[in-house]
Homo-oligomer: A and B are copies of this chain.
Amino acid sequence: MTLTKSDTVHRPPSIVYGPRIVALAGGVGGAKLAHGLAQLLPPEDLTIVVNTGDDFEHYGLTICPDLDTVCYTLAGLANPVTGWGRVDESWQVFENARCLGGPDWFSLGDRDLGTHLERTRRLKDGQPLSQVTRDFCKAWGVEHTVLPMTDQPVRTMVGVETGELAFQEYFVHQRCEPKVTGFRFDGVESARPAPGVVEAIETAEAVVICPSNPWVSIDPILAVAGIRSRLEGKPVLAVSPIIGGKTVKGPAAKMYSELGIHPSAFSVARHYRGLLTGFVLDGVDAAQERAIQNLNLRTLVADTLMNHLTDRVRLAGDVLNFIRRPL
C-alpha cells in the first residue's frame, strides 16, 4: 500500500515515520483510537487486530460487530450517533422482516446488511474471514491492515447466575441486565491467529491495547494461542476504557462490579498484569497513577475521552509519543 497525497498532507510531518504499531481493539472505543492512530501512521506501520468473540449468526448471516465497527470507522462509514452500524442507513429489510414476525432485537440496517450478506456468501464459499476483511477494506478504501484475531469461529459466552448466554444475547437482547459470573471463549482452543497477526506482532515496535472492554473485547484476542506469548518482552501499553469508575459505552464497569472488583483504571491495569509495560489513564483518575506505577508500569495521564476526530488524533499522538518517550 502507498500513501496518497491527501494522507500525507493531513498527517503531521513530525510523526510520519512513526513506530510500527499493533493495536488490539474491540468495538467503539477501540475503533476510535485505531482511527486516531490511522491518521498519524502510514498504512505499513499500523495493524489492527480485532476481537471476533462478539461474532454471531442471525437470520443465517455471520455478523462481526467489532470488525465492522473498526472497518466502518476507518472508512468514515460509521454511524456517529449510534456508535454502531452505518451512517445514512435505511431500515427497509429489517422492518419488512419484522412485519413477518422476524426477531427484532438486533437491528440490521440495509447498507450494513450488504456487508453481512456478502461476507456470509464468501465464508460459505470457503474464504477465510481475514481474506474477506482484506477485500472489504480495499473496497471501502481502508489502507491500514485490519485483521480478525482468528479465522476460526470463537464465540464469547457470558456466565450469568442462570447459566451461560451467547454474547449478543447478553449484550443486545438482554441489554447487559443479567449479573455476570464469568466468561468463556467457545472454540478458542482450536483457534489460530489469523494470517498476519503473528508477523505483525513480531515486527511491531509496540502493542497498544485500545480502550475496549478487557473482559469481552481484549481477553478473547489474548486467549488465541500464540498471541499473548508473543507480546512478552515487547512494549505493550493499554489505554484505560474506565474513566472515573465508568465506561463511556458498554458494560465493562458493570462487569467489574458484578465480579467483585472495584471498576477503576487501576483495576484495568491490574487486569492485564504481567502483560503491560505501560498504561494510559485519564486525567480524572490521576490520583491512581502512583498505584498503577507500583504495578511496575510506566504511566501517562492524558485526556482519553474521544468525542470528535480531533480527540482521537490527539490521544493517538499522545500514545505514540508515550511509546517513543525514553524510559
Q: What is the interface of chain A, defined by CB distance below 8 A to chain B?
A: 59-61, 90, 92-103, 110-111, 113-115, 117-121, 124, 135-136, 139
Contact = CB atoms under 8 A, between A and B. Distances in A.
Nearest to A62: B60
Contact of A114 (B99, B117, B136): B99
- Report which residue of A110, A117, A119 has the largest number of chain B beta carbons within 10 angstroms of its beta carbon: A117
Q: Which 7 residue pairs spanning A and B have beta carbons closest together? A: A96-B114, A92-B110, A102-B118, A97-B114, A97-B118, A100-B118, A59-B117
Nearest to A132: B100
Given A60-B61, A92-B113, A93-B111, 10 more contacts: A59-B120, A59-B121, A60-B60, A61-B117, A90-B92, A92-B92, A92-B114, A97-B118, A100-B115, A100-B118
A67 to B, nearest CB: 13
Contacts of A117: 59-61, 93, 97, 102
A265 to B, nearest CB: 39
Contacts of A103: 121
A96 B124 contact: no
Contacts of A110: 90, 92-93, 96, 110
A100 to B, nearest CB: 4
